[in-house]
Amino acid sequence: MMDLRELYQDIILDHGHHPRNKRAIEQPSHFAHGHNPLCGDKVTIYLKMDGERIGDVSFEGRGCAISTAAASLMTEILKGKTIAEADTLFRAFHAKVTGGAEPEPVEALADDLERLEPLTGVRAFPIRVKCATLPWHAFEAALKSGAIGTTVKTE
Amino acid sequence: MTSAVNLRKVPLTTARGTAALDPQVIRRDFPVFENNPGLVFLDSAASAQKPRAVIDGIAEFYRRDYANVHRGVYRLSARSTDLFEEAREKVRRFLNAADHHEIVFVRGTTEGINLVANSYGTNFIKAGDEVLITELEHHSNIVPWQMLCERVGSKLVVVPIEATGGLDMAALDRLIGPRTKLVAMTHVANTTGAMLPIETITRLAHERGAKVLIDGAQAAPRMTVDVQAIDCDFYVFSGHKAYGPTGIGVLYGKRALLDAMPPWESGGGMILNVTYEKTTYQEPPHRFEAGTPDISGVVGLGMAIDYLEGLGRDRIFAHEEALTGYAVDVLSALPGVRVPAAGQRRLAVVSLDVEGIHPHDLATILDQHKVAVRAGHHCAQPLMDKLGLAATTRASLGVYNDESDIDALAAAIRAAQDLFGGARAPR
């Protein structure tokens, strides 16, 4: 039996059960819905830019412990980041959980990536990778669609 | 027909007899359990595992008796055709249809329903008419009717369920009216296992001039089905849920109705005469079987039917109903576990809601304990909305399951609860 504690580490269970920033943002500058039709998980990501930086970011939705924890950790980490930094984090995280090529490491973001490390347990459970990446895909879609909003689906 | 002898060299099952089924013995008929030691397979409602009689029988058919059907003059083709049509006769007996012309081979339940919606529906259901379905339906018994209604301007009416999960019969009585042209309903619900009183509903529908289609995907593998006793107009089921191959299914339709229905797809094998001006169609069922059919699928389905009848369909029903009761008792007694819509007679399907653990997380954890279940909306999103659930974890039974499988599921659920520390997640 694979060690389930690799997947469900304490930090995941904590964020899964007590998610941070789980609320709507009034008049967001960007938002998008993410949907995983396989399991029915839904997440909405809200963003409010403060000049060049992400002033506030939050989420709403219902999903498994992995997707909830991923959304919660993501919102904590993205607050105060520039779009370029957020994009680097997304690509680095995506590479970590899917086993793809990681972008050039950015020293200033090393601590943030370290905090996302517990989610990389999904690599041993391929069917669950999309749970961890769904909020990030929704975030990326939000950046592209702005205040109009859009819906992004996992394959 | 000497050809049939070849196939019967493969022993059907070691579990024949009149006593109650012994799943531990039946399991030996299914190679998947040999190849996956310790597997607790509780997902037969999605698709059943295959007995050796079907796996080896299909291989043997390809080795000895295969050629295209209804075409060749040569003996091999005649033998293949005999086996193909013998399988149709087996299906006729399996459903107790009056006439083998009433058995149409399709790809599965979904295609069977689409055929009726497109051929019967488009020609006999008009603007202002109503099509009645229930809240227990699978998407495949919702969407084809929705599309038909959009096409012809008829109205889709949905009969609600009661809090117990059974169909609201008083509402049904109110809703079947003079405009109702067709009632399409499941025999056994795929999400909750609810068994519908289809004989009663069929009688009521006929009294009011409506035709009846039954989705037998979950029922046909698990109980004796007699379409003449039910008196339904259409009955559909899938081979792969009945221990047969994927890609094959059956549409039963009353002869007079099939005779009146135009073909849905066109091509070879479904015509009597073709000129560029006019084509006359074969009689049913060939009219609905354009092109080369799934020959080995049909023959394999016949073998699966032989296998089920070898076990005895009344014995299968008795076994699965008793085991369903055991599952509901054991699982609903677990702390933090709820079995939604458990208040009605049900068969082979138990959906679970474990407090604080999302079904997707639960299914991953159960899988690590070698317990295979389905997690999700079970292609029944409107029903999930009604039950107030985004998703459930579904355990479903087959002839190879026994109480030890339910106990293993219960133990794995407890392990999941331990892992999640009994914490309560927000929904």
For position B363, which CATH number holds? 3.90.1150.10
d(CA B265, CA B331): 46
> Do B138 and B254 belong to one domain?
yes
Q: Do B391 and A40 touch (CB under 8 A)?
A: yes
Measure A111 CA to nearest chain B CA, in Å.
Answer: 27
B-chain residues within 8 Å CB-CB of A2?
368
Is-catalytic flag, B232?
no
For residues A145 and A30, is the Cβ–Cβ distance under 8 A?
Answer: yes
DSSP string covering B29-71, please? G-HHHHHSTT-EE-BTTT-----HHHHHHHHHHHHHT---SS-
> Do B253 and B169 belong to one domain?
yes
Q: Do B421 and A62 touch (CB under 8 A)?
A: no
Pick from B309, B332, B365: which residue ends a domain? B309
Pairing of strands B392-396, B349-354: antiparallel
Residue B147 phi/psi, 5-degree rounding, is: -65, -40
Instruction: Mutate one of A1, A6, A39 to test the B interface: name it (highest B CB count within 10 A).
Output: A39
> Do B150 and B128 belong to one domain?
yes
Measure B143 CA to nearest chain A CA, in Å.
Answer: 17
Inside any domain, residue B4:
no
B-chain residues within 8 Å CB-CB of A11?
none
> Do B299 and B318 belong to one domain?
no
Measured between CB atoms, does A7 come within 8 Å of chain B? yes
> Do B179 and B305 belong to one domain?
yes
> Do B238 and B155 belong to one domain?
yes
> Do B189 and B249 belong to one domain?
yes
Fold of domain A4-145: Sufe protein. Chain: A (3.90.1010)
Find residue B185's DSSP bridge partners: B214
Q: Distance of CA B378 to CAs A42, B161, B196, B383, B384, Å? A: 16, 17, 18, 10, 9
Measured between CB atoms, does B356 come within 8 Å of chain A? yes
Measure A28 CA to nearest chain B CA, in Å.
Answer: 24
Tell whether omega for the bond before B11 is within 30 degrees of 0, i.e. cis. no
Q: Do A62 and B365 touch (CB under 8 A)?
A: no
Inside any domain, residue B348:
yes
B-chain residues within 8 Å CB-CB of A66?
360-361
For residues B214 and B183, is the Cβ–Cβ distance under 8 A?
Answer: no
> Do B365 and B245 belong to one domain?
no
> Do B281 and B396 belong to one domain?
no
Instruction: Mutate one of B353, B358, B368, B420 to test the A interface: name it (highest A CB count within 10 A).
Output: B358
> Do B389 and B412 belong to one domain?
yes
**Pick from B304, B350, B351: nearest CA to B323:** B350
Q: Do B390 and A62 touch (CB under 8 A)?
A: yes
Q: pTM of the prediction? A: 0.90
What amino acid is encoded at A149 in this protein? G
Question: How high is the pLDDT of residue B382?
Answer: 80
Measure B370 CA to nearest chain A CA, in Å.
Answer: 9
Inside any domain, residue B205:
yes
Q: Do B384 and A68 touch (CB under 8 A)?
A: no
Question: How high is the pLDDT of residue B65?
Answer: 96
**The domain containing residue B82 runs over which residues?**
75-309
Across B135-169, b (16+ Cβ under 10 Å) vs e yields bbbbbbbbbbbeebbeebebebbbbebeeebbbbe
Question: How high is the pLDDT of residue B388?
Answer: 78
Alpha helix locations (H) across B336-380?
359-368
- Taking only the tens place, the pLDDT of each residue in B248-266 is 999 999 999 999 999 987 7
Measured between CB atoms, does B37 come within 8 Å of chain A? no
How many CA within 13 A on the CB side of residue A129? Answer: 14
Question: How high is the pLDDT of residue A99?
Answer: 84
> Do B133 and B166 belong to one domain?
yes
Backbone torsion region of residue B365, taken as left when φ is above 0, otherwise alpha when ψ lies between -120 and 50, otherwise beta = alpha
The structural domain count of chain B equals 2
For residues B3 and B17, is the Cβ–Cβ distance under 8 A?
Answer: no
Inside any domain, residue B410:
yes
For the record, the structure tokens of B166 come out as 């059974």
> Do B384 and B366 belong to one domain?
yes
What residue ranges do the domains of chain A occupy? 4-145
**Low-confidence residues in chain B, pLDDT < 50:** 1-9, 423-427
Chain A's closest residue to B424, CA to CA, is A17
Across B45-83, b (16+ Cβ under 10 Å) vs e yields bbebbbbbbbbbbbebbeeebbeebbeeeeeebbbbbbb
- Taking only the tens place, the pLDDT of each residue in A58-114 is 999 988 999 999 999 999 999 999 999 999 999 999 999 988 888 888 888 899 999
- Taking only the tens place, the pLDDT of each residue in A18-54 is 999 999 999 999 999 998 877 778 899 999 999 999 9
Q: Do A65 and B377 touch (CB under 8 A)?
A: no
Q: Do B425 and A63 touch (CB under 8 A)?
A: no
Active-site hit among B83, B379, B397, B399: B379
Query: Could you say which DSSP state residue B242 is in?
Result: G
Query: Could you say which DSSP state residue A21 is in?
Result: S
Question: How high is the pLDDT of residue B8?
Answer: 45
Measure A67 CA to nearest chain B CA, in Å.
Answer: 10
d(CA B14, CA B28): 8
Pick from B309, B326, B351: which residue ends a domain? B309
Interface size between A and B, measured as CB pairs under 8 A: 61
For position B114, which CATH number holds? 3.40.640.10
ipTM of the prediction: 0.85
d(CA B213, CA B232): 6
Q: What do you get for the CA distance between the two ends of chain A, in Å?
A: 28
Helix H or strand E segment including A17:
helix A10-17
A149: confidence class by pLDDT, cuts 50, 70, 90? confident
d(CA B359, CA B11): 40
Pick from B260, B282, B309: which residue ends a domain? B309
DSSP string covering B71-140, please? --SSHHHHHHHHHHHHHHHHHHHHHT-S-GGGEEEESSHHHHHHHIIIIIIHHH--TT-EEEEETT--GG
For residues A69 and B361, is the Cβ–Cβ distance under 8 A?
Answer: no
Residue in B360, B368, B375 nearest the CB of A2 = B368
For residues B244 and B94, is the Cβ–Cβ distance under 8 A?
Answer: no
Question: How high is the pLDDT of residue B425?
Answer: 42
Helix H or strand E segment including B212:
strand B211-215
